[in-house]
């Protein structure tokens, strides 16, 4: 995979300038120091928004998905004077976009506005699922750079997020998030952590091309990664008719980053 960041940055800056009124949209991070740039680098952008401009980041993500490239996964971090969108597209392009808001003149605190947050079941699921797939792309980046400690940490976080989705499903089914007793539920993602189950054929388990890899730290992380991704696809497809499975897309990014043996 050749360096892709310069062309990707130009496309994204053009899209942002058409979508938002901005004072400035500029590069940051490794693109300012080309000697540090490699195929695993993301594109860091700083966007200074014009006065009176508000950002609905989830709507922006939806527009990116429709008009830019298919969205693979993303995270949003909200701060006092800026919001950060970390996003990965189906083609493996990754961006870290910081939106900076103009300073607001001092004014007495206004009374709290009614909440406009949608805490519906599928909104909660979507937030976890998109974060899951973004983190899965970061596992590949850390593997490519030889950081097996962080790659392992992130791969285990994926296992945790699949369990979070199972808990959200249970809460929806039971109409409560208070459970004095559980239902002795199956937790399939655990199978990736149990050596005797590594080669099992249970749906959602590790694809053969990964389960047959020789033992080493990198391959064990890959097995956990693809087991968790297969399980996330399965449980989401079971509850959402329009869910688009992403394990194959993850496999494509894995191969594009030249990580496959």
pLDDT score at 1: 64
Instruction: Locate 257 and state its tokens.
Output: 């980053």
Residue 75, H or E segment: strand 71-78
Tens of pLDDT, residue by residue over 135-180, are 999 999 999 999 999 999 999 999 999 999 999 998 888 887 777 6
pLDDT score at 124: 87
Rounded Cα distance between 247 and 227, Å, is 9
Q: Is residue 254 classed as helix, strand or coil in its secondary structure? A: helix
Domain coordinates in residue numbering, the chain: 5-100, 121-256
pLDDT score at 219: 87
pLDDT score at 10: 95
Domains 5-100 and 121-256 share a fold: no
pLDDT at 36 over 80: yes
Q: CB burial class (10 A; 0-12, 13-18, 19+) of residue 186?
A: exposed
CA 23 to chain centre: 28
Contacts made by residues 107-116, CB under 8 angstroms, sequence distance 24+: none
**Quick one: fold of 121-256?**
1.20.120
Tens of pLDDT, residue by residue over 86-141, are 999 999 999 999 998 877 654 444 455 443 334 587 888 999 999 999 999 999 99
Of 9, 70, 5, the residue nearest 39 (C-alpha): 5
Ranges 35-39, 65-69, 76-80, 256-260, most confident: 65-69
For domain 5-100, give its CATH number from 1.10.1370.30, 3.30.460.10, 3.90.600.10, 3.50.50.60: 3.30.460.10
Instruction: Locate 150 and state its tokens.
Output: 């962080």
Q: Give the DSSP letter string of 166-179.
A: HHHHHHHHHT-S--
Q: CB burial class (10 A; 0-12, 13-18, 19+) of residue 189?
A: buried
Tens of pLDDT, residue by residue over 7-16, are 999 999 999 9
Residue 33 DSSP one-character state: S
Band of pLDDT at residue 211, cut at 50, 70 and 90: low
φ, ψ for residue 47 (rounded to 5)? -120, 115
State mean pLDDT over 24-28: 91
φ, ψ for residue 163 (rounded to 5)? -70, -35
Tens of pLDDT, residue by residue over 44-67, are 999 998 887 778 899 999 999 999
Which residues does residue 74 pair with via DSSP β-bridges, in sequence order?
Answer: 87
């Amino acid at each position: 995979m050749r360096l892709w960041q310069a062309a990707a940055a130009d496309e994204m800056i053009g899209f942002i300038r058409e979508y938002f009124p901005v004072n400035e949209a500029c590069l940051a991070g490794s693109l300012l120091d080309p000697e540090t740039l490699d195929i695993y680098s993301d594109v860091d952008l700083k966007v200074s928004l014009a006065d009176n401009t508000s950002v609905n980041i989830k709507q922006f993500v939806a527009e990116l998905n429709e008009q830019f490239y298919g969205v693979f996964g993303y995270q949003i971090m909200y701060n006092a004077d800026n919001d950060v969108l970390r996003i990965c597209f189906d083609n493996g392009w990754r961006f870290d976009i910081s939106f900076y808001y103009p300073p607001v003149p001092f004014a007495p605190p206004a009374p709290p506005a009614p909440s406009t947050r949608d805490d519906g079941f599928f909104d909660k699921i979507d937030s976890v699922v998109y974060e899951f797939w973004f983190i899965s792309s970061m596992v590949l980046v850390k593997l490519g750079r030889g950081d097996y400690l962080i790659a392992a940490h992130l791969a285990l976080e994926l296992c945790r997020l699949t369990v979070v989705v199972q808990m959200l499903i249970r809460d929806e089914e039971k109409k409560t998030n208070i459970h004095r007793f559980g239902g002795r539920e199956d937790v399939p993602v655990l199978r990736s952590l149990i050596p005797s189950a590594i080669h099992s054929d249970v749906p959602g388990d590790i694809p053969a091309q990964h389960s047959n890899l020789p033992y080493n730290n990198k391959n064990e992380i890959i097995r956990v990664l693809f087991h968790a991704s297969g399980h996330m696809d399965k449980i989401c497809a079971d509850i959402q008719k329009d869910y688009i499975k992403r394990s194959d897309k993850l496999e494509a990014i894995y191969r594009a980053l030249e990580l496959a043996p």
